[in-house]
Amino acid sequence: MKVNKRSIAALGAITAVSALTLVGCAGGGSNSGDDKASGGEITVWVDADRAAVLKDAAKEFTDDTGVKVKLVQKEFGEIRDQFVQQVPTGKGPDVAVGAHDWLGTLVTNGVVAPVELGDTKGDFEQVAIDAWSYDGKVYGVPYAIENIALVRNTDLVAEAPTSYDDMIAKGKAAGTEYAFLVGLDPEAADPYHLYPFQTSFGAPVFGTDAEGGYDPADLQIGNAGGQDFAKWLAAQGAKGTGVLNTNINGDLARENFVAGKAPFFLTGPWNVPAAEEAGLTLAVDPIPSAGGKPAQPFAGVQGFFLSSESENSLAATEFLVNYVGSEEVQTALYEVGGRTPALTAAYEAAVAKDPITAGFGAVGADAVPMPSIPEMGAVWEFWGVTETAVINGTGGDPVALWDKMTADIEAAIK
């Protein structure tokens, strides 16, 4: 480099500008350092709906303990993958919101730590605790239970059906275009919405192990009940009664129900506001059994979980167990989300106030947690397509198709 007076001067000036900018940067840096010394800070990833509620809880927590809570808003669906990627780099949060079926991924990646609920464990609904348990340990503080139930238009049918056949008979008697609606997909049917009918034949996806968790080695989907379910699906499909139609997707099903074209709609609380806005009077009934055994839908449980790399695990646990797990916060979360609260006290208060919540809650109490084990991925891969083929009668003998699916799932799990 040719050094001349001019570049020396320039270098000097650059150094001065740099120093000024650095002072600016460092100013911000030292501030955050001071915060750490005066009681610490926990970072919480939360979605927009939950953020407002947590803001109040966080303020209370800070007032009580002096620990600051930094709420970072994230898109709910993106939290899982970002959490998995960022926790190992040390940039992850201490606490994040999520769904229980992420647990398989989170635990396998070693990014979550168990949360010791201690004696408050009994204060939560059993299904919520079961859902957030993995290998016998609880990994989160649940706040909401979400499940489907049978929504009935009371103007069309006055009484709850006692069985699937009764429901179809009542639906036909109502004289509407459809007797019963459920949203399916032309490519992958919808195993989630059809699952209660499957369990009513006694065919859960997995058996359970000694600790009550799902056992991937014990695949139950292809048992005799599963084969009966396949036959039943074919009988309700295109070549049978035609009640199940894979061309009616979730949006079409909702539109038709809201338009009063069917008395029954198998769906979750997310479709209730649309129907209520249209002026329908609704009742939420237990899902009628098709195979004689109880019809148990999947429950999805949302909750808050703790990072395994958290430097603030004591403060974060305190925040989770005693603030997020409090009745006040659980009720507030219920009010913004509309999902049944996971804390029994909040659950009972919500159920007493709102018959719709009570209906979903009653079904949810018998629901089974959606399996969170990683092996579930292999099941989804084959499940829906096979259901579509069975319903549409395109793949030949339903039982043979079901057996083929079971064999494929078994092969994929191994």
The yes or no reply on residue 250 touching another protein (CB under 8 A) is no
Closer CB to another protein, 131 or 282, in the complex: 131
Q: What are the residues whose beta carbons fall under 8 Å from the beta carbon of 254, sequence distance 6 or more?
A: 183, 265, 267, 271, 274, 275
Closer CB to another protein, 107 or 127, in the complex: 107
Closer CB to another protein, 268 or 398, in the complex: 398
Tell me which stretch binds another protein (CB under 8 A): 96-104, 143-151, 294-302, 330-338: 96-104
The yes or no reply on residue 217 touching another protein (CB under 8 A) is no
Tell me which stretch binds another protein (CB under 8 A): 71-79, 144-152, 173-181, 371-379: 371-379
**Number of residues near another protein (by CB under 8 A):** 91
Q: What are the residues whose beta carbons fall under 8 Å from the beta carbon of 264, sequence distance 6 or more?
A: 150, 151, 152, 153, 157, 161, 167, 170, 171, 179, 180, 181
Closer CB to another protein, 200 or 307, in the complex: 307
Closer CB to another protein, 6 or 31, in the complex: 6
Tell me which stretch binds another protein (CB under 8 A): 50-58, 144-152, 223-231, 388-396: 388-396
Paired tokens of 239: 């070549």
State the nearest-atom distance from the C-beta of 206 to another protein, in Å. 14
- Are 340 and 144 a contacting pair, CB within 8 Å? yes
φ/ψ (deg, to 5) at 45: -90, 130
The yes or no reply on residue 102 touching another protein (CB under 8 A) is yes
Subset of 19-78 contacting another protein (CB under 8 A): 19-22, 25-26, 37-40, 65-67
φ/ψ (deg, to 5) at 71: -95, 125
Subset of 303-362 contacting another protein (CB under 8 A): 308-309, 311-315, 317-318, 321-322
Tell me which stretch binds another protein (CB under 8 A): 284-292, 294-302, 350-358, 386-394: 386-394
Question: Using N-to-C axis directions, what is the helix angle for 355-365 and 344-353, rounded to 10°?
Answer: 140
Closer CB to another protein, 186 or 273, in the complex: 186
The yes or no reply on residue 111 touching another protein (CB under 8 A) is yes
The yes or no reply on residue 210 touching another protein (CB under 8 A) is no
Task: Name the E strands within 203-263.
Answer: 206-208, 214-219
Looking at the DSSP bridge assignments, the partners of residue 277 are none
Closer CB to another protein, 158 or 411, in the complex: 411
Report the C-alpha gap between 337 and 317 in whole angstroms.
23
Report the C-alpha gap between 369 and 126 in whole angstroms.
10
The yes or no reply on residue 122 touching another protein (CB under 8 A) is no
Tell me which stretch binds another protein (CB under 8 A): 195-203, 227-235, 283-291, 405-413: 405-413
Subset of 252-271 contacting another protein (CB under 8 A): 252
Site map 127..146 versus another protein, x via CB under 8 A: --------xxx---------
Q: Give the CA distances from residue 14 to residues 20, 21, 22, 25, 225, in Å, rounded to whole numbers and listed in that order.
A: 10, 10, 12, 16, 78
- Are 269 and 362 a contacting pair, CB within 8 Å? no
Closer CB to another protein, 104 or 161, in the complex: 104
* Collapsed DSSP state (helix, strand, coil) of residue 306: strand
Q: State the virtual CA torsion across 188, 408, 368, 341 in degrees, nearest 10.
A: -50
State the nearest-atom distance from the C-beta of 365 to another protein, in Å. 25
